Amino acid sequence: MRLLSGIKPSGDLHIGNYFGSIKQWVDLLNSSSDTQAIFFIADLHAITVYQDPKKLKEKTYEIAAVYFAAGLDYKKHIVFVQSDNPDHPYLNWLLTTVTPYGWLTRMTQFKDKRQKLKNYGEVIGAGLFNYPVLMAADILLYDADSVPVGEDQVQHVELTRDIAKRFNKLYGETFKIPEYTVNRTVARIKDLQYPTKKMSKSDDNPLGCVYLLDSIDDIRLKFKRAVTDSEKSIRYDVKNKPGISNLLAILSASTGKKIEDLEKEYAGKTYAQFKEDVAEAVIAVIKPLQQRVKEYLSDRSELERLFKLGVEKAREISTPKLNEALSKMGFYKYAKK
């Protein structure tokens, strides 16, 4: 069983990413014996909207450091940086030629992003339009069985399946048709200021979002200021008490205790005490994580060694696949005599 996923090195990771996705993913992968994960930092994807060059580089190291610090076993799995593997943009080009223009115009994420950029008066690059085809290349190069994604990426995996089918039909059986699984828990952790909105790294209100690398003081402050309600009861009721429910979800994620048990434990306690405890529970998890992230970040050459190791393993799979596609399409050097 081969899982594949990518994450863009743009924006800062927050506790919603950590508890909702990173931690669960890492725990699942390290504990399952028959699953290999291919996981890459999607830096070629990040530049579909302008990235400050210095930040792109820093975020690439940072995201990798967070995953290694979270315990992702790089010996068992394959972790690499997308731009280290030229097979991705190469296959991207080949797949572009079998992707009908109309399919791309239907991508809702493109339509949303285009609208946003327009509102800000910014240019819409052709890369943003073609981006789902690069994602298809990422996936198809590795014969991935399954792609765990957020809700917003489902349409892109469906497109990947269609592109693979079309290629296979035109040039002969080449690519495996991937399945996907949707990670819904990410959405469960909400913004601390607007608790009906999911916590988001591109947040306009920094008080609502607790970043993984926030200072301990900032984490305490953000929980202290978290929006609650005018009642006095600590119970899980997303509809009427979104703030308290969100804090319960966060406390549950960081302590491993069930929400029902927490409701009992906090019966009769004040919101102030509760918020303080949530902050301390999060800090108890985040502080040692930050320490490990710092260790990785202080040794760039070690991170680069891991990147090199990762891309070598990745290319053992992706290069033969790319060559097979080139051969099927008739490129002289690869085509059978």
Nearer Cβ to ligand TRP, position 160 or 246?
Answer: 160
CB of 2 to ligand TRP, least distance (A): 12
Nearer Cβ to ligand TRP, position 151 or 261?
Answer: 151
The token pair that represents 199 in the structure block:
């916590």
Binding site for ligand TRP (CB under 6 A): 4-6, 8, 42, 45, 135, 138-139, 147, 149, 153
CB of 336 to ligand TRP, least distance (A): 30
Residue nearest to ligand TRP (CB): 6
Phi, psi of 193 (to 5 degrees): -95, -35
- Among residues 113, 197, 224, 257, the one annotated as catalytic is 113
- Please tell me the distance from the alpha carbon of residue 19 to that of residue 188, in angstroms, as a whole number: 10
- Among residues 55, 197, 201, 224, the one annotated as catalytic is 201
CB of 315 to ligand TRP, least distance (A): 17
Torsion angle of the four alpha carbons 285, 2, 79, 256, in this order, in degrees rounded to the nearest 10: 0
- In the annotation, is 190 catalytic? no
Pair 78, 88: CB distance under 8 Å: no
Nearer Cβ to ligand TRP, position 113 or 235?
Answer: 113
CB of 134 to ligand TRP, least distance (A): 7
- In the annotation, is 113 catalytic? yes
The token pair that represents 285 in the structure block:
């998890």
The contacts of residue 91 (CB under 8 Å, 6+ apart) are 137, 140, 141, 318, 321, 322, 325
- In the annotation, is 118 catalytic? no
Q: In the sheet that 2-7 helps form, which strands lie side by side, from edge to edge? A: 78-81, 36-41, 2-7, 146-149, 179-182
The token pair that represents 211 in the structure block:
């970043």
Nearer Cβ to ligand TRP, position 164 or 226?
Answer: 164
**Enzyme catalytic residues:** 113, 198, 201
